[in-house]
Structure 1
Amino acid sequence: MHNNNLNLSPYDRVVISRDIKRPTTQDYINLITSNFIELHGDRMYRDDPSIVAGIGKIGKHSVTIIGHQKGNNLQENIERNFGMPHPEGYRKALRLMKQAEKFNRPIITFIDTPGAYCGLEAEKRGQGEAIARNLLEMSKLSVPIITFVIGEGGSGGALGIGVGNKICMLENSIYSVISPEGLSSILFKDSSKSKEASEVMKLTSYDLYNLNIVDKIIKEPIDGAQKDVKLVADNIKLYILEELGYYENISKEEIISQRYNKFREIGRCL
């Protein structure tokens, strides 16, 4: 299926993952959930529009959904800070994850960010602490977490909502510790060599699946998910329903240990 997609270079996938017409978290929420209610604010500082979060139903399951939110045009991107969260975005996410645990709701997260916002104001309000706190708390949650990388998965900005029992990537999404431009500027002293950098970064869905970091690749139409959003959303929904059916029979202790063991295995050298 979609064999032509297999011939794309890593940089081709970088370009597709950043396409301004690429479906956003909100697009997928609208297609896979019923009765979605968005919840706002971290109860400490303010709401962060670069993170969409709330509760809804997928099939018979009540779930909490959290995701980075980009825009489909320049004005929307400015309003959403290009999907780059401030600390209050991560704290909002954590507030809702703890609420999900309290009411025994599975958590679905959608990753699509170039990275956490690195401005002075974000650092003043504890950006590093907010992300680190999420990593710690997510590792201990007793409800299943299913994570989808739907566009860019950039560094700690992605990982701040990405500690999942299952990690899926859309076929043309990317996931890496740094952007190709950032890597090329550090290693090659030339940010224009991002195409060469992406060739060595192992950032594509197929690279990460082969490294046992990603559990599932969701196929996309040729030219990307933006060509048939409903098809991709249906495949995401199908995977979620399969996994939620599986987790109905798994104890809380097993859910926690499964997630722990998954991340302990990442990076293992034989």
Structure 2
Amino acid sequence: MAAPHLRAAVICYLLSALHTSTITAQYQEWKSATATYSKDTDASIITEGACGFGDLHKTSYGKYSTGLSGMLFNRGSSCGACFEVRCADNMVWCLQTSPSIVLTATDFCPPNYGLPADNGGWCNFPRAHFQMPEAAFSLIAHQKAQIVSVQYRRVQCKREGGIRFTVKGSAYFMQVLITNVGLDGEIVAVKVKGSRTGWIQMGRNWGQNWQCNTNLAGQPLSFEVTTASRITLASYNVAPPNWKFGQTFLGKQFQQ
């Protein structure tokens, strides 16, 4: 048996390692990128997007949303993830004190290979780029800048209320849009369960829309969501037996 002082040292080391890993998961290192903005008069900024969130004001993201270049978008798996962004390395265009904002990934910024990556092709691979609403951009930089160098890092998403499940589709093609996800905000797996079924694995349709080909009409619905950090949360009976397509239901929320 190990001596008491040795056991204590091992315990202290493990606790320290756990604390360090927790900090690392919550606050990643700052990385370099660029950012531009789109005019708020463009309705597509708040009503469309490659993540399928729809009207961003209804999903609570609003102006604190962003499109990502392919380097960051990761084929849609980054939808719902949160990024802290701050203007960098330009005393002319950056606001004083270099404030930062936290943005939710809601859209894809497509490449334009007809233009150079440093002159119009901002979202060309492998550039890291944020296409922000004008209102968000103006919180970190002067709008006359049009494009600025920024620093960014992944952070935990702080959400109000529970996870939202919007049920869409038809009898044998159920599609669920999942929004307002806490922790890292990035969903990697979803399961659904009726009162007469076991857990059914759903597949990613696009963005944060998940699907299955099972008729669950007339059954209360439960959902299980797993984030990129491999934390799973189950919300039981969030939808009543008489649920209808087009309705949104509130589940539990990950603990911050």
Q: TM-score, normalised by structure 2?
A: 0.27
Q: Which has the larger radius of gyration?
A: 2
Higher helix share: 1
Higher strand share: 2
Provide TM-score, normalisation by structure 1: 0.26
